Amino acid sequence: MVVAVMDKARLARAFFLGLTLFAGPAMSAAPTAAALVVDASDVDRFFAVFHAADGHPGAAQLQAGYLDLGSVALHDCVWLR
């Protein structure tokens, strides 16, 4: 069965409208801004290594000064890559 382009657009709009209507109340239970924590220590560590090497850190420097000391989130990110 071939669905016309217009029908696909109408279907997509209906889907997202439904998602908004039904998921909206569930999203109200999301944590507030006061409950969120942003840890920028990985960024600070990276730039400390970067500046100590005059902008050209080697693999060993990055490994020892940045990656090995990184947060769980950084390790997860590296593992996923």
Q: Which amino acid is at 4?
A: A
The whole-angstrom separation of Cα 78 and Cα 67 is 9
Q: Which of 52, 54, 80 is nearest to 66 (CA)?
A: 52
User: What pLDDT, on the 0 to 100 scale, is given for residue 47?
Assistant: 94
Rounded CA-CA distance 11/17 in Å is 10
Instruction: Give the pLDDT score at 78.
Output: 87
Domain ranges of the chain: 5-30, 35-80
Residue with tokens 């990110």: 77
Q: Tokens for 51?
A: 């500046």
Distance CA 26, CA 46 (A): 37
pLDDT in tens, 43-80: 999 999 999 999 999 999 999 999 999 999 899 988 88
